[in-house]
Chains A and B, each alone.
Chain A
């Protein structure tokens, strides 16, 4: 009922049609986006590591987070302590210390990584975990957001997002505090897939 009222009001009040501009992709030349990605990601508070072999992955995780008790990951290469497929309720994930997921695409201009629910096992995992690790193939780094949206079908799954660092806030007197409601840290492992 209100729908027809609103639509009718728009039709009555809207301006004459304005054309939709076409969007250029703002090429940034041939510069490799890799270095720029590392720089912006670090500036946004992420830690970035290059790792060379996946078997070493678990060792690196243990070295970085020696106190982590609960590790959750949908990836078979990660030694998880929680089986994401078997949890009864998402609130059971409250105790996750470290979550490890795969990222699909990195964006050099802002250090953001595209992740979907298919990569997370559970939608809430990258937020509820205390610390988040994302594995990213350096070949999947693009220059900017225009390029990123050309590559990702945003509705391929029910939920997808860009993550650009650890959760943060500056709501108290503009002082930056890392670790607001989501993960307290973001670590990105850049690893070329064989």
Chain B
């Protein structure tokens, strides 16, 4: 069994919890629908967003250079990192130069991807994640299970217990309001003493050399404006040409993510504060390679809204941790095979190919088509598990020989009707593990047609 299937099997063992997870995400998907339907030009916006991103990818080198030049003019220090290791090294050297011991971070999937926290903690720096969901999982020692709602897999009782242990809240307290207030007080102290703040980047404007960060909690700004040093880490694909394009993306992002018309804070950072320093780290880490894969380069358009996760029938019932990567769900399943085809060869199969992800994606990435395409690549390169390879081979033989097809059809119909259960439901029948085989028809369509064609 592939890794995703195995972890998903563990996840669904607790049925009521699975249902709860499923419903929580579907609720967000419904809110997204309502918000999207409130905008008459919604589909036009999606199309424009997709086209702008296509354009950017086709001139990415020029836009990055333009962005860098403008940012430098603005007094920003720009760094380039080819991979995660270099990214971490750069961030650490900036912190060292400014003698930073206490660091606050707002949500950044890129730094998760690079495992920055561990790298810095090993080098003696205190790293505090300040988005509530991220702080929860950081205290719990877990990776995020969703890119927008990192702690969506946890129940309030679990958060209550965790906070009791780590933040000394009352034992047994589970009220989200009370727990959030406790986190607020705890994080305020961290903000006030931090010497540097790191944020991710939602959009980087080539024309003006500024970066845009969207949050609801205000944690990015509390960090950035209180600490003397601010560092913004971005993947190369975050570039947009001009500020006017923010009009499209800010209209799409929050509506797709949570159903809000816009995030509470949409912050535009262009220059360091008086007496402060501002750094931007531009990271490749596999993105240029993905740009070179014609069938898959569109995955770089992603604005990390999470809508494809919220709608996915597999994600909702298997949980973010089952994917084994920072970005889970449908988008994660088309990003990961490009990083390590063998390791993530199970993920493109964690899909029903229903296409719901592509339907909700605000930048119109053809996610389900790419999932299908990855399956082909995985098969061509011999990474299919043996059971799947064998059954595909046999299915191919049977389906290409009409005589065999008729014969096995007949046997199959007879067998399902007559054979005792243990013959049908056993370890060779992967499909029948949690499912009943369909009721077999009395005769095949061919047989029926022969009988009835004169009518």
Q: Interface residues, chain A, CB within 8 Å of chain B?
A: 2-3, 5-7, 9-21, 23-24, 26, 40, 44, 90-91, 94, 107, 109-112, 122-124, 126-128, 144-150, 154-155, 157-175, 177, 179-183
Q: Give the contacting residue for A91; candidates B192, B269, B271; CB below 8 A.
A: B192
Q: Are A16 and B266 in contact (CB under 8 A)?
A: no
The answer for the CA separation of A124 and B68 in the assembled complex, in Å, is 26
User: What chain A residues lie within 8 Å of B267 (beta carbons)?
Assistant: 159-161
Stretch from B245-253, B318-326, B329-337, B390-398 at the A interface: B245-253
Q: How far is the CA of A19 from the CA of B288 in the complex (A)?
A: 20
Set of chain A residues within 8 Å of B425, measured between Cβ atoms: none
**Bound Cα distance A107, B184 (Å):** 29
For B373, what are the chain A residues with a Cβ–Cβ distance below 8 Å?
A: none
A91 to B209, CA, bound (A): 28
Q: Which 5 pairs across A and B sit closest by C-beta, in order of nearness?
A: A182-B218, A158-B271, A13-B292, A110-B261, A124-B225
Select the stretch in B9-17, B47-55, B91-99, B109-117 that faces chain A: B47-55
Q: 0/1 per residue, B77-89, Cβ < 8 Å to A?
A: 0001110001000
- Closest Cβ of chain B: how far from A73's Cβ, in Å? 17
A180 & B216 in contact (Cβ 8 Å cutoff): yes
Instruction: Establish whether residues A13 and B246, one from each chain, have CB atoms under 8 Å apart when the complex forms.
Output: no
User: What B residues does A110 contact at CB under 8 A?
Assistant: 260-262
> Inside 8 A of A40's CB, which chain B residues have their CB?
261
Cβ-closest chain B residue relative to A28: B40
Extra contacts, 8 of them, besides A14-B57, A158-B273, A164-B266 (Cβ < 8 A), are: A6-B282, A10-B64, A26-B44, A44-B261, A44-B264, A157-B270, A161-B268, A163-B264
Any chain A CB within 8 A of the CB of B61?
yes
Q: B225, A127: Cβ atoms under 8 Å?
A: yes
With A10-B236, A154-B210 known as contacts, the answer to whether A183 contacts B57 (CB < 8 A) is: no
Residues of A within 8 A of B64 (CB): 6-7, 10
Q: Count residues of chain B with CB under 8 A from any CB of chain A.
A: 93
Which of B55, B57, B265, B266 lies in contact with A182, CB distance below 8 A? B265
B188 at the interface (CB under 8 A from A): yes
Among B131-139, B358-366, B374-382, the one that faces the other chain is: B131-139
B130, B151, B250 interface centre (most CB from chain A within 10 Å):
B250
B212 to chain A, nearest CB (A): 8
Closest to B293 in A: A13
How many A-B pairs have beta carbons closer than 8 Å: the answer is 261
Which of B65, B132, B208, B226 is A169 in contact with, Cβ under 8 Å?
B132
- Interface flag for B289 (CB, 8 Å): yes
The answer, yes or no, to whether B33 is at the interface (CB within 8 Å) is: no
- How far apart sit A155 and B65, CA to CA, in the bound complex (Å)? 18
- Over the window 21-42 of chain B, the binary record of Cβ atoms lying under 8 Å from chain A Cβ atoms (1 yes, 0 no) is 0001001100000000001010
Q: Do A181 and B266 touch (CB < 8 A)? A: no
Looking at A112, A146, A174, A181, which has the most chain B CB atoms within 10 Å of its CB? A181
Q: What is the CB-to-nearest-CB distance from A133 to chain B, in angstroms, rounded to a whole number?
A: 16
State how many angstroms separate the Cβ of B347 from the closest Cβ of chain A. 23
Nearest-Cβ distance from residue A49 to partner chain B, whole angstroms = 20
Q: How far is the CB of A86 from chain B (nearest CB, A)?
A: 14
Alpha-carbon gap, A161 to B225, bound state (A) = 13
Q: Give complex CA distance A14, B60 in Å.
A: 8
Tell whether A164 pairs with B261 under 8 Å between CB atoms, given A2-B86, A155-B210, A171-B149.
yes
* Chain B interface residues (CB < 8 Å from chain A): 24, 27-28, 39, 41, 44, 48, 51-52, 54-55, 57-61, 64-65, 68, 74, 80-82, 86, 130-133, 136, 149-152, 154-156, 159, 176-177, 179-181, 184, 187-188, 191-192, 205, 208-210, 216-219, 221-222, 224-226, 236, 241, 243-248, 250-251, 258, 260-273, 282, 284, 288-289, 291-292, 294, 297
Contact B216 A168 (CB under 8 A): yes
Q: Are A161 and B221 in contact (CB under 8 A)?
A: yes
* Across-interface contacts of A174 in B (CB, < 8 A): 24, 27-28, 149, 152
> Chain A residues with Cβ under 8 A from B155's Cβ?
173
Contact, CB under 8 Å: A91 / B59? no
A13's nearest neighbour on chain B, judged by CB, is B292
Minimum C-beta distance from A152 to chain B (A): 8
Measured CA separation A110–B179 after assembly (Å): 28
Are B86 and A162 closer than 8 Å at their CB atoms?
A: no
The distance in angstroms between the C-alpha atoms of A90 and B194, with both chains bound, is: 12
A143, chain B: closest CB distance, angstroms: 11
Most interface-central of A11, A24, A40, A159 (chain B CB within 10 A): A159
Closest Cβ of chain B to A32, distance in Å, is 18
Task: State whether A6 touches B80 (Cβ < 8 A).
Answer: yes
Given contacts A10-B60, A14-B58, A167-B264, contact A181 B52 (CB under 8 A): no
Contact: A165 with B264, CB < 8 Å?
Answer: yes
A128 with B222: CB separation less than 8 A? yes
CB distance from A116 to the nearest CB of B (A): 9
Query: 27 interchain pairs (CB within 8 A)?
Result: A2-B81, A6-B288, A9-B289, A13-B288, A13-B292, A18-B55, A21-B52, A23-B247, A23-B248, A24-B44, A128-B222, A128-B225, A145-B262, A154-B208, A155-B243, A155-B270, A158-B269, A158-B270, A159-B267, A161-B267, A162-B265, A164-B262, A164-B265, A171-B150, A172-B180, A175-B177, A182-B264
Say whether, besides A6-B80, A172-B179, A14 and B291 are in contact (CB < 8 Å): yes
Query: A154 CA to B204 CA in the complex, in Å?
Result: 12
Q: State whether A180 and B219 are in contact (beta carbons under 8 Å apart), knowing that A6-B284, A168-B264 are contacts in the complex.
A: yes
Residues B58 and A17 in contact, CB atoms below 8 Å apart: yes
Contact A124:B288 (CB < 8 A) given known A15-B57, A162-B265, A162-B266: no
Q: Flag if A182 contacts B217 (CB, 8 Å).
A: yes
Q: Are B217 and A23 within 8 A (Cβ)?
A: no
A118 to chain B, nearest CB (A): 12
CB-CB < 8 A to B218: which residues of A?
127, 167, 180-183
Report whether A167 and B217 are in contact in the complex, using a CB–CB cutoff of 8 Å: yes
